[in-house]
Each structure stands twice: as structure tokens, then as C-alpha cells.
Amino acid sequence: MTAAPLPPPAAPLIDPFARAIRYLRVSVTDRCDFRCVYCMSEKMQFLPKKELLTLEELDRLCSAFIRLGVEKLRITGGEPLVRRNIMEFFRAMTRHLDSGALKELTLTTNGSQLGKYAEELYAAGVRRVNVSLDTLDEEKFARVTRWGRLPQVLDGIDAARAAGLQVKINTVALKGFNEDELFTLTEFCAARGMDLTFIEVMPMGDIGNEDRIGQYWNLAELRHTLGTRYSLHDLPDRTGGPARYVRLGETRQRVGFITPMSHNFCESCNRVRVTCTGEIYTCLGQEGHSDLRGPLRESEGDAGLERAIHAAIALKPKGHDFDYDRQEVSGRVSRHMSHTGG
């Protein structure tokens, strides 16, 4: 008997600027148990649950991207760990890690649920998590998150580390808010062997009375201040994201800088984002997007879905237009960060 021929390999995802798409960030929910002032308005109108992709649809979608060459999958939200039964999805993705097709499965979280899920995440193959933490002051933490409790997050970080997860702290640099904690946050991470990445605030969504320009702290200034206490050594390290890293000579820790405003990093962009409703955004800082939910639901097969993914990648722009020059916010996008995924 003649063996059936193997199917042809899936065509890789290459954008119009010859960048291979290897990194997918998927938001599994727009809901969150915090209301961070730079991310959401306090009275958010969340999507009807019927509009969200089911866990089975998220599996099909991510599996299609992995067949097309995606090697790193980051799960985001909202807060991904508030999605009901989300660990079923993580356990399903383990098969792609076991096969070797997926090189890394990671998570971005506010840390509030890590105490509950850290061990299960490790068992599912997650080895690194990014935790958003903008202050170590309990009162300021309550103010910036509106609904969050700092001790719960710190306990979650401890639980993640105890479970064997490598933790990286992501801190949004906020003028007049956490400038005075630059060294405190750095020392906190150094003492626990955690990388620390600072992020410039981005003009995304209506956040009510919050002042975008007033929030903006240029990371060139932050880096200069950091250099008054530590020796900074540039590193070639890349983790698949936009951060550029230095090593502090005195503590040996890595500190990263994500600078969408002051320094455009688009030339090396290898990632796309998919929302919890199946919209694919090929650039965080552009409004353009394509629908993948329709093709996903139109057929039990994935041929149409894969065609839609390729068509979306063909529209990926060269870069974003975020700018705070002249004390005006330009390049603003209307959707909240929680819709696209952090």
C-alpha cells in the first residue's frame, strides 16, 4: 500500500517589509480586576461574553498561527487569569510545546491571580511571566490600579517564583507618580533576581480625566537618572519583544526599556496581536485590523482561516505614529489597551 502524501508545509508569515512573524500575543479577555489609570476608564463597558472567542476557538486560532511559523505565544488580557476555565486553554497549548513547534508559552498578568494559578501554569509549560507593577507603595498602588491590592500582587509574585516561574516586572514610567521609586523598584527586583522593564505610556483609549502628556516620562531621562547610581552596559539580548536591555554593573540584573514614544522600534517588529473577539492588529499603534472570527466560524476546517491570516499579514504597516512632540498627543488610537492586549 502506498502511503498518503504528506500535506505541503504551510507558507510562512512574511510581512511586506520582509519581517517574519514569529510572535503572537493573544488577548483572551478584555475584563480585568483592576482599572489602571493609563489603561482603562473606571466605568468600563466590557464586551458581551457572546462576542468573545470560546476557548476551543482560541485553541484553533493559536494552532493555525503555530502551523504558519509562530514560535512564541504570549497570553494577555485584560487580566487573562480572570477568564473562566482559562487553564484548560493553557493545558491544550502544552501539546505544541511538546511537539517542539512552539518554543515558548508566556503570560502577561497583573499578578492578582498568580497565587492561585502559578503551579498550574508551570505544569502547563509556562516558564516565564511578566507582572505589571508600577509602585511598591500600597496607597499609590491602590490609586493607580483603582481596584488593586498590593499585598495580593506581591504574594502572587512570591508564589510564581516558588513554583519555578521566571518573573519579569513591567513598570509603566509615569511622570510625577513613580519617578521617586526608580531605585526602590530596581533594588526590589535585584534582590529577587528578577528582570525589570520600564515602558513609556502610550496614547490608547479614553481614560477619562487622566492627562496623557502629564503622565509621559521619557525613558531617556529615566535611563540617565538610573546611570547616576549604576553603571549601565548595553546588551544585545532580545526576547522577541521591543525591549532593549542593559546590565547594571553593581547588581548584574537586566533592565529593559520599551520606548514606543521616544524611539521607534518598529524596524524589527516580528509580532502581531489578536483580540479576544478575533480581530488581528498587525500594529499596536494603528487602527487598521482584520477579522479572523468570521473565517474561524465559517468552517470547521482551517484553510479559510489561514488565508485570512496571510491576508492580514500582507497589510502590516511599517510602523506606528505615536508622538508626544510639541506637547500634543498625536498618533492616538481609540481602543483601550485592554481591548488589544498588553
Q: Kind of pairing, strands 254-258 and 195-200? A: parallel
Residue with cell 465559517: 298
Question: What span, in angstroms and rounded, lies between the C-alpha atoms of 78 and 50?
Answer: 17
The answer to whether 58 and 172 are in contact (CB under 8 A) is: no
Q: What is the pLDDT of residues 295-313, one digit of tens each?
A: 999 999 999 999 999 999 9
pLDDT band at residue 264 under the 50/70/90 scheme: low
Question: What span, in angstroms and rounded, lies between the C-alpha atoms of 177 and 134?
Answer: 9
Element (DSSP H or E) covering residue 81: none
Question: Does residue 204 sit in helix, strand or coil?
Answer: strand
Q: What residues contact 39, with CB distance under 8 A and at least 6 apart?
A: 32, 205, 207, 336, 337, 338, 342
Distance of CA 184 to the CA centre of its chain: 24
pLDDT of residue 86: 98
Mean pLDDT for 323-330 is 45
Question: What span, in angstroms and rounded, lies between the C-alpha atoms of 123 and 287?
Answer: 37
| Domains of the chain with bracketed CATH | 23-340 (3.20.20.70)
pLDDT band at residue 4 under the 50/70/90 scheme: very low
pLDDT of residue 1: 46
Of 310, 340, 289, 299, nearest in space to 60 by CA? 299
pLDDT of residue 204: 44
pLDDT band at residue 261 under the 50/70/90 scheme: low
Task: State the binding site.
Answer: 25, 32, 36, 38-39, 74, 78, 108, 132, 168, 202, 266, 269, 271-273, 283
Between 260 and 14, name the one with better pLDDT: 14
Asked if the bond preceding 214 is cis, omega within 30° of 0, the reply is no
Mean pLDDT for 265-291 is 86
Question: Residue 327 pLDDT > 50, yes or no?
Answer: no
pLDDT of residue 322: 46
Question: What span, in angstroms and rounded, lies between the C-alpha atoms of 229 and 160?
Answer: 30
Question: What span, in angstroms and rounded, lies between the C-alpha atoms of 126 and 105?
Answer: 5
Between 210 and 247, name the one with better pLDDT: 247
Between 237 and 261, name the one with better pLDDT: 237
Task: State the binding site for [4Fe-4S] cluster.
Answer: 32, 36, 39, 266, 269, 283
Question: Could you tell me what percent of the chain has a pLDDT over 90?
Answer: 70
First vs last C-alpha separation in the chain: 52
Q: What is the pLDDT of residues 60-102, one digit of tens each?
A: 999 999 999 999 999 999 999 999 999 999 999 999 999 999 9
Q: To the nearest 10°, the Cα dihedral for 240, 81, 128, 76?
A: 10
Mean pLDDT of the chain: 87
Burial class (CB in 10 A: 0-12, 13-18, 19+), 178: buried
Question: What span, in angstroms and rounded, lies between the C-alpha atoms of 324 and 261?
Answer: 7
Question: Residue 329 pLDDT > 50, yes or no?
Answer: no
Q: Tell me phi and psi for residue 101, to 5 degrees.
A: -65, -40
Give the cell for residue 72: 512564541
Secondary structure (DSSP) of 149-192? -HHHHHHHHHHHHHTT-EEEEEEEEBTTTTGGGHHHHHHHHHHT
Question: What span, in angstroms and rounded, lies between the C-alpha atoms of 92 and 197?
Answer: 30
Question: Residue 277 pLDDT > 50, yes or no?
Answer: yes
Order of strands, sheet of 271-274, starting from the edge strand that comes earlier in the sequence: 232-234, 244-248, 254-258, 195-200, 166-173, 128-132, 104-109, 72-76, 23-27, 271-274, 279-281, 290-291
Among 77-86, 279-288, 313-322, name the one with the lowest average pLDDT. Answer: 313-322
Task: State the binding site for GTP.
Answer: 25, 74, 108, 168, 271-273
The answer to whether 177 and 204 are in contact (CB under 8 A) is: no
pLDDT band at residue 340 under the 50/70/90 scheme: low
Q: What is the pLDDT of residues 118-150, one digit of tens each?
A: 999 999 999 999 999 999 999 999 999 998 999
Task: State the binding site for S-adenosyl-L-methionine.
Answer: 38, 78, 132, 202
